[in-house]
A = this chain, B = another copy of it.
Amino acid sequence: MRVHSTTFAISTHGKGTYEITDRIATAVAESSIKSGTLTVFVRHTSCSLTIMENADPTARRDLEQFFEHLVPEDTPYFEHTLEGGDDSTSHIRSVLTRSSEVIPIVQGRMQLGTWQGIFLFEHRRAPHRREVIVTVIGEP
């Protein structure tokens, strides 16, 4: 049994979903772990993770639009607005999605289904540098 840990940064340029599947696959390959799990974790409270349909861009557009309706910016009763109308909105959208995601590894490959991609979901309008940690645990 072994633990392999990698951190990478991703630069975001406004709200939306950014695919990080390849960077995570690279971390798994570098770990030489053949059987176990990987954990993806974002170190932020105004962006999050989601596993989503990775083929048709309209699927992600619908998801992003849905969140605009579900947790609107500038909601009148929000008090936490020091950083703008996307402040509480960003935190709440993060709570409704995920900070961590765990994916099994079998025969050295993460076991995503055909249409599953891993995305960082940026909830801030302004550009940000986001840190993601990948921890692989298992047998070489």
Q: Interface of A with B (CB < 8 Å)?
A: 1-3, 5, 35-37, 39, 41-46, 50-53, 56, 58-59, 61-63, 65-66, 70-71, 75, 77-80, 82, 87-88, 91-92, 94-104, 106, 111-116, 131, 133, 135, 137-139
Residues of B within 8 A of A41 (CB): 102-104, 111
- A72 CA to B57 CA in the complex, in Å? 20
Q: Is the CB of A45 within 8 A of B51?
A: yes
Q: Is the CB of A88 within 8 A of B106?
A: no
- A41 CA to B105 CA in the complex, in Å? 11
- A52 CA to B46 CA in the complex, in Å? 9
Q: How many copies does the complex hold?
A: 3
Closest chain-B Cβ to A21's Cβ sits at a distance in Å of 13
The 3 closest A-B pairs by CB, nearest first: A43-B113, A1-B1, A62-B88
- Cβ-defined partner of A113 (8 Å) among B59, B75, B104, B131: B131
- A53 CA to B96 CA in the complex, in Å? 14
Residue with the highest number of chain B CB atoms closer than 10 Å, among A51, A61, A112, A115: A51
Q: Is the CB of A43 within 8 A of B135?
A: no
- Cβ-defined partner of A96 (8 Å) among B5, B79, B96: B96
- Cβ-defined partner of A63 (8 Å) among B2, B95, B112: B95
Q: A80-B61, A88-B59 are in contact. Are A44 and B100 (CB under 8 A)?
A: no
